[in-house]
Chains A and B, each alone.
Chain A
Amino acid sequence: MVPEKLKPPINFTVLILFGLILLSLQLMSSATQESSQLSEMYSWLLLVNALGSVVLLGLVVANIYSLTRQLKKREAGSRLTTRMVSLFVVLSLVPAAIVFYFSMQFLHQGIDSWFNVEMDRAMEDALELSQASLDQRMRWHLKQTQQLSERLADSSATLATLELEQLREVAEASEMTLFSRQGRIVASSSINPSDILPSLPDEHIWLQLRRNSEYVALAPIREDELMIRAIVTVNAREPQYLQALYPVPVRIADLADSVEFAFVRYQEMNFLRDSLKLSFSLALSLVLLMSLLAAIWVAFISIRNIIAPVKELVKGTQAVASGHYDQQLPVIAQDDLGFLVESFNEMTQRIARARDETKRAGVEVENQRAYLETILANLTAGVISFDADYKIRTANQAAYRIFHIHVSHFVGQTLLNLAQDYAELAEPLKSIQRLLVQSDDEIWQQRIAFLGPNGRQELLCRGTPLFSQEGGRVGAVVVFDDVTDLIQAQKNAAWGEVARRLAHEIKNPLTPIKLSAERLQHKLATKLETSDADMLKRSTMTIVQQVEAMKEMVDDFSEYAKPSKKQTVTIDMSALVQEVLALYALKSGVTFKADDEASLLMVKGDPVSIRQVLHNLIKNALEAIDPKGHIEIGLHRVQKNNADFIEIALYDDGPGIKEDQIEKIFEPYVTTKAKGTGLGLAIVKKIIEEHGGAIWVDTTRKIGAGFIIQLPAYNY
Chain B
Amino acid sequence: MPSSASNKGCLIYFLALIWLLPMSAFADAFAVAVKRAEMNIQGDRYVLSADIDYQLSPRAKEALQNGVSLFWVVQIKVWQQRDYVWDKKLVYKEVRYRIQYHALLNMYRVRNESSGEVDNFSTLPAALDLMSRVRDIQVIDRVDLLAGERYLAGVKVSFDRDALPLPLRPAAYVNLQWYLSSDWYVWSLKN
The one of A220, A270, A272 that contacts B109, using a Cβ cutoff of 8 Å? A220
Residues 269-283 of chain A, each 1 if its beta carbon lies under 8 Å from chain B, else 0: 011100110111010
The answer to whether A55 and B167 touch across the interface, beta carbons within 8 angstroms, is no
Q: How far is the CA of A222 from the CA of B84 in the complex (A)?
A: 53
B191 on the A face (CB < 8 A): no
Given contacts A43-B173, A61-B5, A264-B67, contact A275 B168 (CB under 8 A): yes
A669 on the B face (CB < 8 A): no
Given contacts A40-B162, A127-B104, A220-B120, contact A279 B167 (CB under 8 A): yes
Q: Which residues of B contact A223 (CB under 8 A)?
A: 111, 118
Most buried by B among A65, A220, A270: A220
Q: How far is the CA of A61 from the CA of B1 in the complex (A)?
A: 11
A495 on the B face (CB < 8 A): no
A238 on the B face (CB < 8 A): no
Q: How far is the CA of A331 from the CA of B48 in the complex (A)?
A: 78
B62 on the A face (CB < 8 A): yes
**Cβ of A75 to closest chain B Cβ, rounded Å:** 16
Give the 4 A-B residue pairs with the shortest CB-CB distance, closest first. Answer: A58-B6, A271-B66, A264-B67, A275-B167
The one of B2, B66, B126 that contacts A270, using a Cβ cutoff of 8 Å? B66
Q: Which residues of B contact A256 (CB under 8 A)?
A: 104
A307 on the B face (CB < 8 A): no
The one of B104, B107, B161 that contacts A259, using a Cβ cutoff of 8 Å? B104
**Cβ of B191 to closest chain A Cβ, rounded Å:** 38
The answer to whether A57 and B9 touch across the interface, beta carbons within 8 angstroms, is yes
A400 on the B face (CB < 8 A): no
A-B contact list, 7 entries, CB within 8 Å: A131-B104, A220-B120, A222-B118, A256-B104, A260-B103, A263-B103, A267-B66
Q: Which residues of A contact B161 (CB under 8 A)?
A: 43
Most buried by A among B101, B102, B167: B167
The answer to whether A59 and B103 touch across the interface, beta carbons within 8 angstroms, is no
The answer to whether B10 and A55 touch across the interface, beta carbons within 8 angstroms, is yes
The one of B4, B9, B122, B166 that contacts A32, using a Cβ cutoff of 8 Å? B166
Q: Which residues of A contact B137 (CB under 8 A)?
A: none
Residues 10-36 of chain A, each 1 if its beta carbon lies under 8 Å from chain B, else 0: 000000000000000000000110100
Known: A42-B169, A260-B103, A271-B66. 16 other contacts (CB 8 A): A42-B166, A54-B9, A55-B9, A58-B3, A58-B6, A62-B4, A204-B122, A218-B104, A220-B120, A257-B104, A260-B102, A263-B67, A271-B63, A271-B67, A272-B68, A279-B167
The answer to whether B13 and A265 touch across the interface, beta carbons within 8 angstroms, is no
Q: Which residues of B contact A218 (CB under 8 A)?
A: 104-105
* Interface footprint category on B: 35 or more
The answer to whether B67 and A265 touch across the interface, beta carbons within 8 angstroms, is yes
Q: Which residues of B contact A219 (CB under 8 A)?
A: 120
A130 on the B face (CB < 8 A): yes
Q: Which residues of A contact B148 (CB under 8 A)?
A: none
Given contacts A58-B10, A265-B67, contact A272 B167 (CB under 8 A): yes
B165 on the A face (CB < 8 A): yes
Q: How far is the CA of A282 from the CA of B174 in the complex (A)?
A: 14
Q: Which residues of A contact B4 (CB under 8 A)?
A: 62
B58 on the A face (CB < 8 A): no
The answer to whether B104 and A130 touch across the interface, beta carbons within 8 angstroms, is yes
Q: Which residues of B contact A32 (CB under 8 A)?
A: 166
Q: Which residues of B contact A271 (CB under 8 A)?
A: 62-63, 66-68
Q: Which residues of B contact A65 (CB under 8 A)?
A: 2, 5
Restricting to B157-186, which residues have a CB under 8 Å from any CB of A? Answer: 161-162, 165-171, 173
The answer to whether A279 and B104 touch across the interface, beta carbons within 8 angstroms, is no
Q: Which residues of B contact A270 (CB under 8 A)?
A: 66
Q: Which residues of A contact B162 (CB under 8 A)?
A: 40, 42-43
B114 on the A face (CB < 8 A): no
B115 on the A face (CB < 8 A): no
A470 on the B face (CB < 8 A): no
Most buried by B among A46, A61, A223, A275: A275
The answer to whether B168 and A272 touch across the interface, beta carbons within 8 angstroms, is yes
Q: How far is the CA of A268 from the CA of B168 in the complex (A)?
A: 11
The answer to whether A54 and B10 touch across the interface, beta carbons within 8 angstroms, is yes
Given contacts A62-B1, A265-B67, contact A282 B120 (CB under 8 A): no
A51 on the B face (CB < 8 A): yes
Output the nearest chain B residue to A268 by Cβ-Cβ distance.
B67
Q: Which residues of A contact B2 (CB under 8 A)?
A: 62, 65-66
How many interface residues does A have (CB within 8 Å)?
Answer: 48
A39 on the B face (CB < 8 A): yes
The one of B10, B105, B170 that contacts A51, using a Cβ cutoff of 8 Å? B10
The answer to whether B6 and A55 touch across the interface, beta carbons within 8 angstroms, is yes
**Cβ of A655 to closest chain B Cβ, rounded Å:** 106
Most buried by B among A46, A51, A279: A279
**Cβ of A217 to closest chain B Cβ, rounded Å:** 8
Q: Which residues of A contact B10 (CB under 8 A)?
A: 51, 54-55, 58
Q: Which residues of A contact B173 (CB under 8 A)?
A: 43
The answer to whether B103 and A282 touch across the interface, beta carbons within 8 angstroms, is no
Q: Which residues of A contact B7 (CB under 8 A)?
A: 58
Q: How far is the CA of A168 from the CA of B111 in the complex (A)?
A: 31
Most buried by A among B9, B66, B166: B166
Given contacts A40-B162, A271-B68, contact A276 B13 (CB under 8 A): no
Q: Which residues of B contact A275 (CB under 8 A)?
A: 165, 167-168, 171
Q: How far is the CA of A222 from the CA of B4 in the complex (A)?
A: 61
Output the nearest chain A residue to B120 by Cβ-Cβ distance.
A220
The one of A59, A131, A222, A263 that contacts B1, using a Cβ cutoff of 8 Å? A59
Q: Which residues of B contact A43 (CB under 8 A)?
A: 161-162, 169-170, 173
Q: How far is the CA of A34 from the CA of B170 in the complex (A)?
A: 15
Q: How far is the CA of A627 from the CA of B13 in the complex (A)?
A: 129
Q: How far is the CA of A272 from the CA of B5 in the complex (A)?
A: 38
Q: How far is the CA of A220 from the CA of B106 in the complex (A)?
A: 12
Q: Which residues of A contact B5 (CB under 8 A)?
A: 58-59, 61-62, 65
Q: Which residues of B contact A54 (CB under 8 A)?
A: 6, 9-10, 13
The answer to whether B6 and A127 touch across the interface, beta carbons within 8 angstroms, is no
Restricting to A267-301, which residues have a CB under 8 Å from any CB of B? Answer: 267-268, 270-272, 275-276, 278-280, 282
Q: How far is the CA of A259 from the CA of B102 in the complex (A)?
A: 12
Q: How far is the CA of A34 from the CA of B163 in the complex (A)?
A: 11
Q: Which residues of B contact A134 (CB under 8 A)?
A: 104
The answer to whether B166 and A31 touch across the interface, beta carbons within 8 angstroms, is yes
Q: Which residues of B contact A282 (CB under 8 A)?
A: 170
Given contacts A54-B13, A267-B67, contact A260 B170 (CB under 8 A): no
Q: How far is the CA of A340 from the CA of B49 in the complex (A)?
A: 85
Q: How far is the CA of A259 from the CA of B104 in the complex (A)?
A: 9
Q: How far is the CA of A220 from the CA of B102 in the complex (A)?
A: 11
Q: Which residues of A contact B171 (CB under 8 A)?
A: 275, 278
Restricting to B26-74, which residues have a CB under 8 Å from any CB of A? Answer: 62-63, 66-68
Q: Which residues of A contact B102 (CB under 8 A)?
A: 220, 260, 264
Q: How far is the CA of A313 from the CA of B186 in the complex (A)?
A: 72
Q: How far is the CA of A592 from the CA of B60 in the complex (A)?
A: 142
Given contacts A55-B9, A204-B122, A263-B103, contact A268 B66 (CB under 8 A): yes
Q: How far is the CA of A278 from the CA of B109 in the complex (A)?
A: 30
Q: How far is the CA of A267 from the CA of B66 in the complex (A)?
A: 5
The one of A59, A204, A257, A268 that contacts B6, using a Cβ cutoff of 8 Å? A59
Restricting to B122-153, which residues have a CB under 8 Å from any CB of A? Answer: 122, 126
**Cβ of A223 to closest chain B Cβ, rounded Å:** 5
The answer to whether B8 and A58 touch across the interface, beta carbons within 8 angstroms, is yes
The answer to whether B103 and A267 touch across the interface, beta carbons within 8 angstroms, is yes
Q: How far is the CA of A276 from the CA of B173 in the complex (A)?
A: 15
Output the nearest chain A residue to B13 by Cβ-Cβ distance.
A54
Output the nearest chain A residue to B8 by Cβ-Cβ distance.
A58
**Cβ of B52 to closest chain A Cβ, rounded Å:** 21
